[in-house]
Amino acid sequence: MKTLVAFFSQSGNTKKIAEAIWAEASQADKADLKKIEDVAAEDVLGYDFIFIGSPLHSGSLAAPAKAFLKGMQAASGQKMAGFITHFAPVYPEQDMNAFAEPIKTACEEKGIEYKGFFDCQGALTESLHTAVQKKLNLSDEQWANMVKQMTGHPNEEDINKAKKFAKEVLAD
């Protein structure tokens, strides 16, 4: 089986998870790790399994990830799973389903078998702290607690969970 791990990352969080998934996929068979911007629409035709990764931007996949899903070409028998990184420590299950929706929709439209979704907390780029704190209307104390929770993520436990997710969906 040939696997593609395609990701969009700005702060490095999503890249770390992509590398963990790629490391696991590489043990089973041939796997490629590529930035979304380096993958042409027709490039995915040569893969049996595709992982797509993105940070959350304003509660949705980043625009480059959405564009990739919309423009990619698919082949019969392909499978796909998604992964995201986000700065918030936890999201309700209904939000996770909403975050996965663009991937599920692309799979349905292109005849790709959807295999699942992984999420991981990451640390927000410091240059965005003030804007996000303001947008969420958090006090300095509330924001300090958020920063404390996100600092250090993705950590080794997150990396291991990503590898476990990859192993499970690839074996299924």
pTM for this model (two decimals): 0.89
For 84-103, write each residue's pLDDT tens digit. Answer: 998 776 665 656 777 888 99
Q: What single DSSP character describes residue 42? A: G
Q: Can you give the CATH number for the domain in which 20 is found?
A: 3.40.50.360
The per-residue pLDDT for range 27-73, each reduced to its tens digit, is 878 999 999 999 998 899 999 999 999 998 777 789 999 999 999 99
- Structural domain including 42 reads 2-171
Amino acid sitting at position 37: E
pLDDT tier, 131 (very low <50, low <70, confident <90, very high otherwise): confident
What is the per-residue burial (b if ≥16 Cβ within 10 Å, else e) of 44-64?
A: beebebbbbbbbbeeeebbeb
Q: Report pLDDT for 165.
A: 95
Is the pLDDT score of 136 beyond 90?
A: no
Please give the mean pLDDT across all residues of the chain: 89
Checking if the pLDDT of 122 tops 70, the result is yes
Query: What is residue 58's predicted lDDT score, i.e. its pLDDT?
Result: 73
How many domains does the structure of the chain reveal? 1
